[in-house]
Structure 1
């Protein structure tokens, strides 16, 4: 199992708009071989730094399945409008990938 996460620092006041972007996009993840699940997670706001933390969390059968997604036409289509919403982001997303060592 491979877990792919992107951490987003979203400017306070733009949380609902950020969520709407994710809810409104057609990612086609479920069509990808090896895809298991996806969650968009909302963390606490950090007022002193001006952002709310979000994490996109996708689970894949293995790292190769995730890698194939990132090279697919579906990936390009899902991310084609990403640059239109720069004002809500405080910097680029931070990717983190994890291979499962143990699980139930």
Structure 2
């Protein structure tokens, strides 16, 4: 079974990393309710002088399942306060979507 990975990369203002992490920890997520959703992770990357890199990483059964989420009421609710923390973000997140290449998956499970 192939999958689709959706990622948003965030540049977070130095000193605001904990605030950013708490925004995600305290959010009302309804992802588990959505058809085709598999998993979510928030990833913290390198800190540089200008920003700390974070990425949200969701795995879906298909790109169609992800696209359905982006058009759902759950998506609108999840993003309704997106502009409330402008002091934390340096610009808008950068979206990246990936289709699995069939025949290349490996797992320790």
Deviation at 1:83, TM superposition (A): 0.3
Aligned ranges for residues 1-104 of structure 1 at < 5 Å?
Answer: 1-47=3-49, 50-101=50-101, 102-104=104-106
**TM-score for both structures, normalised by structure 2:** 0.92
Equivalent pairs counted in the alignment come to: 102
Instruction: Return the structure number with greater helix share.
Output: 1
* Structure of larger gyration radius: 2
**TM-score for both structures, normalised by structure 1:** 0.96
Q: Deviations over 1:37-74 (max 9, x none)?
A: 00000001011xx1000000000000000000000000
Which runs of at least 4 in structure 1 moved beyond 4 Å after TM superposition?
A: none
Q: Quote the RMSD (CA, aligned, Å).
A: 0.6
Instruction: Return the structure number with greater strand share.
Output: 1
Gaps of 5+ in 2: none
Q: SS where residue 87 of structure 1 aligns?
A: coil
